[in-house]
Amino acid sequence: MRFPLQHKLDLPCVFERIVAGRLHDDGRRYLPLIVLRPTGDGAPEALRLGVVDRHHRVSEHDLGRAGSARLVWALSTLRLQTATRRKGLEPEPTLRPGEPITAPRAYAEVLEVAAWEVAREELPYERLYAELLLDVGFGVVGLRTSLTAPDLAAAVGAARVGPGDFVELTRSRIDILGFEA
């Protein structure tokens, strides 16, 4: 995965552990879960973030080291925050104690817009493709998503999202593009 603002992604953390992927029926393993403990200012002490290294960018040799992860939230539902100006991550409601969060609700401030493209193409409704740089309060992450809706302004809450806006992301998949110790 390429992300145009990749050089600006920075989530200070410790690469805490690797959870081996479960076995498929055919004997192959799912990709392992990489567990990160965010360490940036304001990061909750108990927060553990689980991400899958789909692109094989993280070395097991960095296990136990402090560094910076480059994370991109993908396939998210994007909405403007209406009542608050909140930053942070909220665990999924089904999370059991001690488990890392893998699909958190994210609250963030938009720092930069790399792409905001609305197109109709052959579809009977508009489609939005967006790439954003976001401050989650204790680090900077990316968002790459594509939304479809009969009325995009109603889905997102605005005709366009820009720097300084506060957004909420749900139903995300988190990709790790790198870890530097």
| Whether 50 contacts 37, CB under 8 Å | no
Residue closest to 175 by CA, chosen among 138, 131, 125, 128? 131
Q: What is the pLDDT of residues 70-119, one digit of tens each?
A: 999 998 999 999 888 999 999 988 888 889 999 999 999 999 999 998 88
What are the two backbone dihedrals, phi and then psi, of residue 156, each rounded to the nearest 5 degrees?
-90, -30
pTM: 0.92
Alpha-carbon distance of 118 to 128, in angstroms, equals 5
Q: What is the mean pLDDT of the chain?
A: 91
Is 131's pLDDT higher than 80? yes
Q: What is the pLDDT of residues 5-31, one digit of tens each?
A: 999 999 999 999 998 877 778 877 778
